[in-house]
Structure 1
Amino acid sequence: MDEYLQLFVSETDWYNSIVLGSLLPENLWKPLAHVLQSWLRNYIAGSLVYFIFGGLWCFYIYYLKRHVYFPKDTIPSKEAILLQIWVTMKAMPLYVSLPTVSEYMVEKGWTRCYSSISEVGWLAYIALLIAYLVIVEFGIYWMHRELHDIKPLYKYLHATHHIYNKQDTLSPFAGLAFHPLDGVLQALPHVIAFFIVPTHFFTHELLLFCEGVWTTNIHDCIHGNVWPVMGAGYHTIHHTTYRHNYGHYTIWMDWMFGTLSDPVSKPKKAS
């Protein structure tokens, strides 16, 4: 077992070397404890994903395509975007603690993660991945919904994110502008899932990376209308009614539990 768990340690060492080895002198980062290396790597990588994808997408939709997607008076101000960045970067140290802790649990053998797809075969890998995604989708839906329904959680945590409640205050940079604990709670189903279903470790890491990209996309107010994707059109409604479209990647959980509102229906704004 120890030899098998070393595969996960070697894999996270490799991730660390990709990020830290190219940005910091070798004699500076190598003496750091393994878990601190992982936290620093996650912090740097998470910040880069946030700024690169948020920045490129803002440049595209607000500058290159500024006359295509939005009237001038609906483009968020620089001040609003800078505030979103400030809120996000204050929270980032805690955000990246979750994947750091989850990697530690994997390395200790406390989860049901496996190292290589060859251990289960492609058919089982796909079936297990679907199960993992269903658990994540279900978990994020209910976590998000309870952050609204439980009043203290909304008041002290989730309200931080919902100050962005109309098109001229939402931007790709709003995607991670949460209270730090709120952001951790909404990502927690990714970690819970690999205690329930066998999960490929690299795929889990890749999906966490995709979270950073996805949250940029769903806060741009552009309705892609790709069924059954819970795109920005649906999520913009969520930011204006507060009672619809709690889902993550798809509309299915909202459809099943009666909270779906299609962008075409144009629901009334919450009072």
Structure 2
Amino acid sequence: MAGEQSYLMLFVDETSLYNRIVLGHLLPANLWDPLPHFLQTWLRNYLAGTLLYFISGFLWCFYIYYLKRNVYVPKDAIPTRKAMLLQIYVAMKAMPWYTLLPTVSENMIENGWTRCFSKLDDYGWTLYFLYLSIYLVLVELGIYWMHRELHDIKPLYKYLHATHHIYNKQNTLSPFAGLAFHPLDGILQAVPHVVALFIVPIHFTTHLALLFMEAIWTANIHDCIHGNIWPIMGAGYHTIHHTTYKHNYGHYTIWMDWMFGSLKDPLEEDDVPKKAK
């Protein structure tokens, strides 16, 4: 029992370190140090998530809309400032709730309720990559079906997912749309990351990194640029999802859509006008 408590303290020490690094650089100590550990962790996740959203969004928009203007995206497909500001507004309203999920997952890990492990030496590199692969497959499967049900179950679509699907054309989609969801919608689509913790052993820091990588990944798949890197579910596929509402529900890869019959290839879309001619 003492050994188990000692091991769980490794997670607490690690989250406390992350709290000190982020909060210590952004806020005076008297504003966050008296807070309970859970609230410190939530505040750290909120500030880190917000910074990541703005930094990735602004850099990506600056690159594709200004430095590479008319190279990747035609001028008439560039979203207006009004559209991007609305996306930022929706995302910022939801951010306090989004960041509650990793805070809760960290609390469950600290209490030993999950199969998370703290040290890479616990399993070694071979099992680390094996478990990570299984974890990612479970997350991909979970997000696919969660996303698909948010479309297929009409009340869920009407009251939750429709908030995101007002961005349904190239000139309304931007990297800032990546987190522009109803708060509960965004949380539901990230829940598979947490459910997988109870099924497969996963390295704690890797789990946190993957959760925060979501902000960068969702910015990427909303920029309307088709990278065409098999089997990645890039923006070309996701743009089709926003225009047809019934294809390409996947997150990282095209495999789930291929397996369950909902895949639509952007290159096939591009070929339609040519065949018509």
- Return the TM-score normalized by structure 2: 0.95
Matched, 1:235 2:229: no
Q: Distance in 1 between matches of 2:226 and 2:29?
A: 45
CA distance in 2, matches of 1:209, 1:89: 16
Describe the SS at the equivalent of 1:113: coil
Equivalent in the alignment of 1:14: 17
Counterpart position of 1:200? 203
The partner residue of 1:156 within 156, 159, 169 is: 159
Partner of 1:143: 146
User: Between the two proteins, what is the percent identity of the paired residues?
Assistant: 73
Corresponding residue number in structure 1 for 2:212: 209
Contact preservation (8 Å) 2:73, 2:224: no
Which residue in 2 is equivalent to 1:35? Answer: 38
Matched, 1:59 2:67: no
- Alignment equivalent of 1:188, drawn from 186, 191, 194: 191
How far has the Cα of 1:236 moved from its partner? 0.2
2:113 is paired with a residue of what secondary structure? coil
2:154 alignment partner AA: K
* 1:5 aligned partner: 8
Cα deviation code 1:31-86 (max 9, x no counterpart) = 11000000000000000000000000000000111121222221100000000000
**Alignment-mate amino acid for residue 150 of structure 1:** I
Match of 2:28 in 1: 25
- Is 1:130 the counterpart of 2:133 in the alignment? yes
Structure 2 alignment gaps of length 5 or more: 273-277
SS in 1 for 2:210: helix
Aligned equivalents of 1:156, 1:209: Cα separation in 2: 26
What is the aligned partner in structure 2 of residue 88 from structure 1?
91
**How many angstroms does 1:244 deviate by?**
0.4
What per-residue deviation string (whole Å, max 9, x for no partner) do you get for residues 205-260 of structure 1?
Answer: 11012111100000000000000000000000000000000000000000000000
Q: How many pairs are equivalent?
A: 268
Distance 1:85 1:23 in 2: 21
Q: Counterparts of 1:5 and 1:223 in 2: how far apart (Å)?
A: 44
1:49 lines up with 2:33 in the alignment = no
Unaligned segments of structure 1, at least 5 residues: none
Q: How far, CA to CA, are the matches of 1:173 and 1:224 in structure 2?
A: 18
Choose which of 67, 71, 91 in structure 2 pairs with 1:68. 71
Q: TM-score, normalised by structure 1?
A: 0.97
Superposed CA RMSD in Å reads: 1.0
